[in-house]
Structures are given as structure tokens and as C-alpha cells.
Structure 1
């Protein structure tokens, strides 16, 4: 909700991300991350953002309020809501990392299984009678796949291992 409100209000004022970033003394990528929901502004930046967008912090956070004045209780409420949003973002990022880790592990497993299968086959298809067109096509395809696989798969395997290690890296 916050990210959509920031984007919609910025566009309604006719500001680009770059112009908004300059007004808030941040880089354009920061505004982009807020609008994509990848991060949230801290409470003081949220107040500045609301001022620049000519709205209240509560409206940015998705609430309809009657009173436009911020007091100490409102700041505490805003901080609590930002904490909830940050926890949600952290959970989403952790889930993405977990999915990436499982995909990379699956790639490694598939590569190992295919290497074992090719080793067990021992290029048996090369002894087929290639005068038969069906065997010729199948044998050529198998040989071409094995040829490319044996040369490319080690790089993919190493890249996947590095990716798995990076997903376990402490932040």
C-alpha cells in the first residue's frame, strides 16, 4: 500500500523519481525501491516525503484521517507501522532467497544426474547403425547434447555452487 501511494502521489504531482529524489536529498534508486516495495523510508524521511507530496503520513500509509496534525503518538504509530512493513519485506526477501537456493540446488542435482547417466551410457549410441535414419538422427542429437553438456555444465554447476554459497552468506 505504501509503495503504491508514494508512486501515485508522485505521479499526480507530475514529478519524476529523479526530481523527487533531489527534493528529498536521496538518490533516484532509493525512490525506486520505495515504489517497488523493496524498502521503506524511515519515519523522519516519511514525514519529509509526505510534506513534498502535500499529504499526511497517515494517507501515505493507507489510512483515512480527519486530523492533519502529527503529535508524539502519531510518530510512535507510524514507527510501529513501518516496523511491520519492514518485517514483511524481510520475510519476502528471505522467501525469495530460499527459493533461489532450492532452484540452484536443483540445477546442481540435475547436472550430477546427467553426468552419471552419460558416464553409465559410455556413448553407447556411437555404436548404433547410423544407416538407419531414425538411429542416425537420435544418435546425432544425443552426441550433440552430450558434447555441449560436457563443456557447458561444469560452468553452470560452479556458478550454481557459488550462488548457493552466497544465499547462505550473512548479511
Structure 2
């Protein structure tokens, strides 16, 4: 039995637009259109699930930023309502002194850091809004 020239087979397959395996007489089953449709349907479902997950994450982040803004506003309102009561305390008792210093440190730090966090949260709200 003779073996055909591989270059000749490739040239014939290109000219006839048929696979080389068909020219050699082999029965090769090509992927059916149904298989491709099933794969494309699965890929479409996966793509939809990923898009829904991304949208849910964006919505969750948006609501967390709203809660952060509300929390910062509530703490500011609470600190304003208290009017720094520790300023009038008698600091001769060590426990009172420690508590007064802790409250003052929290208030001092919060008043300086919270506006930056609030601006960042508003920027995040702007970026995660619905278009």
C-alpha cells in the first residue's frame, strides 16, 4: 500500500475545502451545531451570572457607603450634643483622668479624620451610583 504525499494532501484539502481526514477516507465526526449551541448557551448563563454578581457587589458597596456616611453624621451629632462634658471634670481622680483623656483623644481624632472618610465615602457613592 502506498502512502500519499502529505504536501499533495494538504494542497488538495485546501483546494477542495475538505479536511485531510476526509480525503484519507476516515470518518471524523465534526462537532455538531447542537454542541456549539449548548456550549454558547452555557457561556451565556455564566456571563449573566458574573454580571449579576458584579451588580450585586456594586449595590452592596453603595449601601455600605451610605451607612458609613450616616454613621459619621450620627457620631458628629452625638459629639455636638455632648458638648465635650469631660472639659469640666475633676481630673484629680486617676480613673476620671484616664476616661477624660480617652474621650478627648477620640473626639480630637474623629473630628480630624472623619471629614476625610466622609469625602472618600461621597466619592465612592458618586462612583457606584446607577447610570
Q: TM-score, normalised by structure 1?
A: 0.57
Stretches of structure 2 that go unaligned for 5 or more consecutive residues are 1-28
Deviation at 1:69, TM superposition (A): 3.9
Aligned to 1:104, which of 44, 47, 65? Answer: 65
TM-align CA RMSD? 1.7
CA distance in 1 between counterparts of 2:49 and 2:103 reads: 47
CA distance in 1 between counterparts of 2:100 and 2:83 reads: 13
- The higher radius of gyration belongs to 2
Residue 144 of structure 1 is matched in structure 2 by: 105
Aligned residue for 2:92, secondary structure, equals: coil
Deviation at 1:169, TM superposition (A): 4.8
CA distance in 1 between counterparts of 2:52 and 2:30 reads: 33
Aligned to 2:41, which of 80, 99, 119? Answer: 80
Stretches of structure 1 that go unaligned for 5 or more consecutive residues are 1-67
Where do 4+ consecutive residues of structure 1 move more than 3 Å? Answer: none
**1:9-158 map, 5 Å:** 69-158=30-119
Q: How many residues align?
A: 104
